[in-house]
Amino acid sequence: MRSGVLLSFVALVVVGLLSAGCAVPAQGLAVQAAVQENKAVTTEPHGFAEVVVDTGWLADHLDDPNVRIIEVSVTPGLYERGHLPGAVNFVWHTDFVDTVRRDIVSPERFQELARAAGVDDDTTVILYGDSNNWFAAWGAWVFTLYGLEDVRILDGGRAKWEAEGRELSILAPSFAPGTFTASPPRMALRAHLPDVHRIVEGQADGVLLDIRSPAEFAGEIFAPDGVAELAVRAGHIPGAMNMPWGKAVNEDGTFKSVEELRALYASVGVDGTKPVVVYCRIGERASHTWFVLSEILGYEVALYDGSWTEWGNTVGVPIENPAGTVWGGQ
C-alpha cells in the first residue's frame, strides 16, 4: 500500500471525529496528524511507465477493452473537430467542478460521469488534452482523488499525437455503463485555505510551491493576459517557492526524465523530505505539477485548488508582493 493511501485513510478518520460542529474544513489538521503519525513523507513512485504512456503505446491499445481514453481540453470545440479514436470528452468547467459552489464535482456526479464513459474500478484511464495537458492533469487529480487506481497521462498530449500524423475521429463513442464506485475523497491530495494558512503561520510543516510565471509570483501582473479569474492583490503566498509548471516538460510537451525532474525541484527545496502544497491561479496549472511530484516522483503532495484567486481575495491573510503592484493603481 502506498503511504499516501494510508495517510488518506487516517485523515478521513480524524476528519470524521472533528467535523461535527466545525464550520471550517479540518483537512489540514487531519493530514498533519496523519503525517506526524506515519512519519514518512515520500511514497514509492509508481514508475514513470505506470503513470505516463507514449503515443505508440496508446496507438496499440485503442481497442483494448480495459482502457478508456478521456480528453480534457481547454479550447471549446476542439474535441468535436477531431479526437483520439474512442476518446470520451470531459468538459473541465462543468464535468470536473460543481457549477453552483466553488468546489470539485461531487462523488455522486463524478461516479455517474465515469460510469457513462464505461469506466470500471479496474479500468486503465488515459487522459490527454491541449495546452500541454493542463486540464488532463486536473482530470487525473480528480480521478485519483475519488479512488481510481490506474490513472495515466498521454505524454505530449494532443499536440504530439497530431504532430505524428496519427488518426483522429469525429465520432463520439458509446460504451456499456461501467461499474466504477467513487470512494470518499483522498483528502491528503487536497489542501484548503486553512491548511495553507497553518503552514504560513508555522503551525504545520510543509513546502509551498507556486508554479505560476515569475511575473505573477513577483506581483508584476495579476494574472496572464486574457484570463477572467483574478485576485485583487498581486504577489504570492508568504514563504512559497517558485517553479513554473512548464519547466517540467520538454519543447514537445513531453515530461522530462525522472532524474531531470528530481534535480529541477530540488533546486527550490522540493526534494520529498517534507509534504508539499502546490498552487497556481485556479488550480489547473498546479495539477500538472501535482502529477509530476506525486505520481511520477512519489512525493507527498496536496493541490491547493483554491489557489491565488482564493488566497489573494481573502480578507485577513498575508501576501508577499515584491513588485508592489496595487489593484487600480496608476
Q: Per the domain annotation, does 320 fall within a domain?
A: no
Q: Are residues 101 and 139 in the same domain?
A: yes
Q: Per the domain annotation, does 232 fall within a domain?
A: yes
Q: Are residues 204 and 157 in the same domain?
A: no
Q: Per the domain annotation, does 124 fall within a domain?
A: yes
Q: Are residues 155 and 231 in the same domain?
A: no
Q: Are residues 259 and 152 in the same domain?
A: no
Q: Which residues of the chain have pLDDT under 70?
A: 1-45, 329-330
Q: So which residues are the catalytic ones?
A: 280
Q: Per the domain annotation, does 303 fall within a domain?
A: yes
Model pLDDT for residues 232-286, shown as the tens digit of each residue: 999 999 999 999 999 999 999 999 999 999 999 999 999 999 999 999 999 999 9
189 phi/psi in degrees, rounded to 5:
-95, -5
Rounded to whole angstroms, how far apart are CA atoms 139 and 126? 10
Q: Are residues 158 and 194 in the same domain?
A: no
Q: Are residues 195 and 307 in the same domain?
A: yes
Domain count within the chain:
2
Q: Per the domain annotation, does 255 fall within a domain?
A: yes
* Distant-in-sequence, close-in-space partners of 311: CB < 8 Å, separation ≥ 6: 193, 196, 231, 237, 279, 317, 319
What is the per-residue pLDDT for 24?
33
Q: Per the domain annotation, does 29 fall within a domain?
A: no
Q: Are residues 64 and 151 in the same domain?
A: yes
Domain range enclosing 152 = 48-163
Closest among 181, 122, 130 to 154, alpha carbons compared: 130
Q: Are residues 288 and 207 in the same domain?
A: yes
Rounded to whole angstroms, how far apart are CA atoms 285 and 305? 10
What is the per-residue pLDDT for 45?
57
Q: Per the domain annotation, does 19 fall within a domain?
A: no
Q: Per the domain annotation, does 321 fall within a domain?
A: no
Q: Are residues 141 and 217 in the same domain?
A: no
Q: Are residues 122 and 191 in the same domain?
A: no
Model pLDDT for residues 273-300, shown as the tens digit of each residue: 999 999 999 999 999 999 999 999 999 9
Rounded to whole angstroms, how far apart are CA atoms 290 and 297? 10
What is the per-residue pLDDT for 52?
98
Alpha-carbon separation of residue 78 from 37, 90, 129 (angstroms): 47, 12, 9
Q: Are residues 196 and 111 in the same domain?
A: no
Assign residue 91 the CATH number of its domain: 3.40.250.10
Cα separation of the two ends of the chain: 55
Q: Are residues 200 and 307 in the same domain?
A: yes
Tell me the chain's radius of gyration from C-alpha atoms: 19
CA angle 280, 284, 289 (to 5 degrees): 70
What is the per-residue pLDDT for 36?
35
